[in-house]
Amino acid sequence: MNIEASSKQLTKLVLGLDAFYRQTRVDGSGKLDNEGLVPVHWSGEEAMFIDNWRDALRKLNAYLLQASLLPDPWARDWLCDYALSLITLVRWLSGEALSYEEIVAGTLGIDPYPPTEPAIRGLRMRRDAALNRAGYASFEAYTETNGVAKANLVNVGNDLLTKARKQASTRLPMLTLPPHPIEMMPVKGVPYTAYCDYPGKTIWINIDVPHTRSGLKQLVGHEAYPGHYLHMYHREKLVREGKMLPDAALVVTNTASSVLFEGIAERGLDLMAWRETPEDEIAWWQNRLEWLCSIEVAHALNTKRSSPKETAAFLRQTCDAHEAWIEGKLAFVTHHLRAPFVYCYWWGGTIVGHWWARISARKLGLAISYLYGKMHSPSTLNTHWHEGGNDENS
């Protein structure tokens, strides 16, 4: 079987898993509850019939054996990583007794253990150093000076979206901008700070949580340009043109692609050279601190080594976090499907950031095309950049 056919077979299998999951899962009414395993897709493939979880595992294991024989190194590694992550996902969803670490490592392909105290302390010191360089006496002073009033949040967000779209067009001309600009809209009572609704061309911004202008800028880079909205549109265009494999038409939760999906978004401002001010630096280090602490909280709650009250106090003290943000974070990291997913943001930003730091100016176009034009697991990004003459020393 060739690469295209193999990718198409896995696409049908994943759509079948999503259909079976939706049929058997009794969910709530929230946005995350109703996403299924495939929140977004633009595939025209028909879902493969899945009779039960055992049937799913049998089909995935058979596919894994087949994919392991593909001659192309990147396709073989990517599709095998993808299938292996789906096997862990199905084992977990079927009720098999897996530890939280096994679920995180098996689905996402990254280190499942919590951060060390020195790592967290070091990030807070970096944030505080950025505050000091910018002349702020404290994080509270920074937020008071730079906070965006709730009534102005959407207007400021949409202004930043316009600027980010222009920046992406200028700095990343190798990517195709969506013809319809995305807009920001307010939402309340949700377990996330912002959410990219790709089909609806909307960013839902949580107005229960306080925002600074630089924090909004980071969110715009993550959710829109050059993050999720631009990333998904570019993938959709390439799939429809036959320039990307069929499996790229799916955005799947808790699989081998999740870390890179969030990593591209996390590093959005870096990819288009739009981290400009001391306040942007503060917002970045606060963001990194929040995601690393989110891993600590997710691990602590899902392994039952800390209580919700204890983890809330930790976030309040370590991140200077607002109560609405804490409430949403605890709901997100204990969500029945999203519990492992929170690892993607920290690790994605780390993996893409380390890779991007090695890219020379003369390789920028090739690097962006490689990053956006192929599906990647945490391991394939670095492994296959060196193949086919893509080593920056070549």
Checking if the pLDDT of 391 tops 60, the result is no
Tell me the C-alpha distance between 212 and 215, whole Å. 5
pLDDT the model gives residue 389: 41
Mean pLDDT over each residue of the chain, to the nearest integer: 94
Q: In the chain, what is the greatest distance between 2 CA atoms, to the nearest angstrom?
A: 63
pLDDT the model gives residue 131: 98
Q: Predicted confidence band at 392 (pLDDT cuts at 50, 70, 90)?
A: very low
> Whose CA is closest to 334, among 307, 370, 361, 313?
307
SS3 of residue 65 by DSSP:
helix
Torsion of CA 80, 337, 245, 199, to 10 degrees: -170
pLDDT the model gives residue 25: 77
SS3 of residue 251 by DSSP:
strand
pLDDT the model gives residue 27: 59
The H or E element spanning position 186 is: strand 183-187
pLDDT single digits (tens) 25-38: 765 556 666 788 99
pLDDT single digits (tens) 120-158: 999 999 999 999 999 999 999 999 999 999 999 999 999
Contact status, residue 308 vs residue 355, Cβ threshold 8 Å: no
pLDDT the model gives residue 33: 66
Domain boundary assignment for the chain: 3-108
Q: Predicted confidence band at 24 (pLDDT cuts at 50, 70, 90)?
A: confident
* Cβ neighbours of residue 104 closer than 8 Å, sequence gap 6 or more: 110, 112, 340, 343
Q: Predicted confidence band at 236 (pLDDT cuts at 50, 70, 90)?
A: very high
Q: How confident is the model over 14-18, as a mean pLDDT?
A: 97
User: What DSSP state is assigned to residue 249?
Assistant: G
pLDDT single digits (tens) 195-235: 999 999 999 999 999 999 999 999 999 999 999 999 999 99
Q: How confident is the model over 300-310, as a mean pLDDT?
A: 97
High-pLDDT (> 90) share of the chain, %: 93
pLDDT single digits (tens) 336-388: 899 999 999 999 999 999 999 999 989 999 999 999 999 999 999 999 997 43
- Three state DSSP letters for the chain: CCHHHHHHHHHHHHHHHHHHHHHHCCCCCCCHHHCCCCCEECCCCCCCCCCCHHHHHHHHHHHHHHHCCCCCHHHHHHHHHHHHHHHHHHHHHCCCCCCHHHHHHHHHCCCCCCCCHHHHHHHHHHHHHHHHHCCCCCHHHHHHHHEECHHHHHHHHHHHHHHHHHHHHHHCCCCCCCCCCCEEEEECCCCCCEEEECCCCEEEEECCCCEEHHHHHHHHHHHCCCCHHHHHHHHHHHHHCCCCCHHHHEECCCCCCHHHHHHHHHCHHHHCCCCCCHHHHHHHHHHHHHHHHHHHHHHHHHCCCCCHHHHHHHHHHHHCCCHHHHHHHHHHHCCCCCCCCCHHHHHHHHHHHHHHCCCCHHHHHHHHHHHHHCCCCCCHHHHHHCCCCCCCCC
From the number of C-beta atoms within 10 Å of its C-beta (0-12, 13-18, 19+), residue 190 rates as buried
pLDDT single digits (tens) 76-123: 999 999 999 999 999 999 999 999 999 999 999 999 999 999 999 999
pLDDT the model gives residue 30: 62
Checking if the pLDDT of 390 tops 70, the result is no
> Whose CA is closest to 324, among 292, 230, 315?
315
pTM tops 0.85, yes or no: yes
Q: What's the alpha-carbon Rg for the chain, to the nearest Å? A: 21
